[in-house]
Structure 1
């Protein structure tokens, strides 16, 4: 898992930009467009919408309501982000957000500016591991920033990946972390040569400090949800999978905020929340029953998935590898669940009618997940199951055919598949040449017939689908530190990538309308400002969104569009 090579684009349009978020059901004609229905380009140039429902897709159609001339640009279904954390992103953006910084000095300057503005804990995040030696910033750096402005506030800042926390000495003291502290299973406490904690906590070790931070209020969670929703609508997104719904890394459980937003008519996305499977579950059957009782299946909100974090990330050498890392520390990373636990949990969750959503970065994590899915299939899994593995950074080539054989969706975060800074500085050196060549095997998965979906992992990376599609097609990005493509034979065709980000993700999220453009269905679309099929592949990152409709209503309009 790497940071965002397009970090400056991470937030997309400002929340609330454009027209009012929700209007009356649409009466609208989009004319002179290239039309993609979620699977293929159609022989059509016009789409008509009446009363919020798509009434026609074709050529020479009689106009309905207002007419928008697309001038040849692409009209496609609304994107469905198959792996995102919009509530986390919104809460952090509205609190203390350093995701736009480009160096350690900029982060520390922002900390100095923020500390005098409040009392108690300073929390937030967005820092990049690539800006600090070894990816591990120091408590002493935050201590000095506080001393410069006369502040002794405790500080916890989550990194962009949400797998590490940077804390100051005051936070370590409150949490009782010292040279004698043993990390919880799967956690890592960075230490100096004397064994003293240095200020960076990885994976479950973050919980040692997070347990002392006041949880977000319901009002803060609601505000974060609405902020994230508005930003995503501005990028043409009309549905997403929230990859963690539960208490995680200092963030509170967002389910009540989602339920309240839908009841109030504020939820304009189609959301499927992945219920969090904790790392310390002892009674598998009881936990499966508890999560099944939290299931929601309503018009715009579903919680029909369960999230398993199988390992960590390469940058902190916590991703689970079959062979040791190439570094002095050695080791094969972290696997959070024993094989027997994982197989029993998968069986219990699927028997409860829920789908399984796995985080897997290392090759051993993907193998372990596929082994568990294979055992589930052998025991007679549900025919309607829609299980998936997200991230798939390092995949053993022998495992590629198993995705298709088992019907497991490969959930791609394509923006990371290029020579961005963390890839070059923190991933490839510890992976070595062979495993570096196994990274993000999207092309091989497509050729093998694996079901594909795509997402961003926002706020780890930009939520802008066109940035990810650019990398999926080019295996490079204009802001990457090296311009050449990363493993170019793993590139996807534009049509394949676009289908993964629309209908492929829609299937995985079990959306009713998002991700598909169909006559007789509520209008759900994103009108781009260009036709990507007519652009040079190297310009895909320039594509923007002019209009977004969700559930038959307009939810975003660029001010330049005349309506």
Structure 2
């Protein structure tokens, strides 16, 4: 339940049984399932549905996804890797500093703070983490997402550090995001035979202080080998 509203767990769109049945049928048809799940209860129900579909239909490389995962129960961390489920998360959704986190901690409660927007903890548990924007909720500008991923503060001194390294952030927006849509052999890396999609930035982001990453901007964008933007 919400920490500031005991007994209130929100309203489920689907019953446990109904969602499990939907997951089984979609999985049987070979579809990749995307579910928006923010709270720990919703995340668990989604993972339960995916696990049920696997038991009924057998194991395959389904790469079903859970979108957002704003808070998660510790017992569900390892299930992402075990079930091959993608953790699709949005750096700009998380409060950047402890001073901008007033509403969320009040709703989630202090016990849930360490595993709120748990990017790094999910990675350490073996999950494939795809990063994005959820536009139009926030800007689609990936460099704004980079800034959030690289500069996020723990809400308390003893909370896990969930911020990402630059290498993890780049992978989350490129190769790992391509993997999340079965496109890792076509895009997400600069390699022979893959799509010629690339961007030339205003400075070397590996030499830019992470606090200043938001000042970086594109000078040139190439899509399918064709220049589509030039400053």
**CA spacing shift, 1:515–1:422, aligned 2, 3 Å:** farther
2:44 is equivalent to residue 359 of structure 1: no
- Select the residue among 209, 225, 231 that pairs with 1:552: 225
Correspondence for 1:539 = 212
State the alpha-carbon separation in 2 of the partners of residues 327 and 507 from structure 1. 38
Correspondence for 1:455 = 132
The structure that has the greater radius of gyration is 1
Look up the SS of the partner of 2:180 in the other structure. helix
- Select the residue among 408, 414, 430 that pairs with 2:107: 430
- Select the residue among 160, 177, 180 that pairs with 1:508: 180
Look up the SS of the partner of 2:36 in the other structure. strand
- Give the root-mean-square deviation of aligned CA atoms: 2.6
> TM-score, normalization: structure 1?
0.38
Look up the SS of the partner of 1:526 in the other structure. strand
Give 1:384 deviation, angstroms: 3.2
State the alpha-carbon separation in 1 of the partners of residues 142 and 158 from structure 2. 19
Q: For residues 434-464 of structure 1, give each alpha carbon's deviation from its aligned partner in whole angstroms, at most 9, with x where no partner exists.
A: 1223201111111111111111011111111
Q: For residues 72-112 of structure 1, give each alpha carbon's deviation from its aligned partner in whole angstroms, at most 9, with x where no partner exists.
A: xxxxxxxxxxxxxxxxxxxxxxxxxxxxxxxxxxxxxxxxx
**CA spacing shift, 1:486–1:503, aligned 2, 3 Å:** farther
Preserved CA contact (<8 Å) 1:514 1:550: no
Correspondence for 1:528 = 201
Aligned ranges 1:105-504 → 2 under 5 Å: 324-327=1-4, 330-381=7-58, 383-419=60-96, 424-476=101-153, 487=159, 489-504=161-176
State the alpha-carbon separation in 2 of the partners of residues 382 and 343 from structure 1. 16
Normalized per residue, the structure richer in strand is 1
Residues paired across the two proteins, number: 230
Give 1:521 deviation, angstroms: 3.0
Structure 1: gaps of 5 or more residues: 1-323, 477-481, 559-563
**CA spacing shift, 1:419–1:508, aligned 2, 3 Å:** closer
Preserved CA contact (<8 Å) 2:186 2:193: no
Normalized per residue, the structure richer in helix is 2
Q: For residues 394-420 of structure 1, give each alpha carbon's deviation from its aligned partner in whole angstroms, at most 9, with x where no partner exists.
A: 111111111111110110101122247
Preserved CA contact (<8 Å) 1:524 1:549: yes
Q: Tell me: higher relative CO, structure 1 or 2? Use CA pairs within 8 A at least 6 residues apart.
A: 1
Structure 2: gaps of 5 or more residues: none
Give 1:379 deviation, angstroms: 2.2
**CA spacing shift, 1:493–1:549, aligned 2, 3 Å:** same
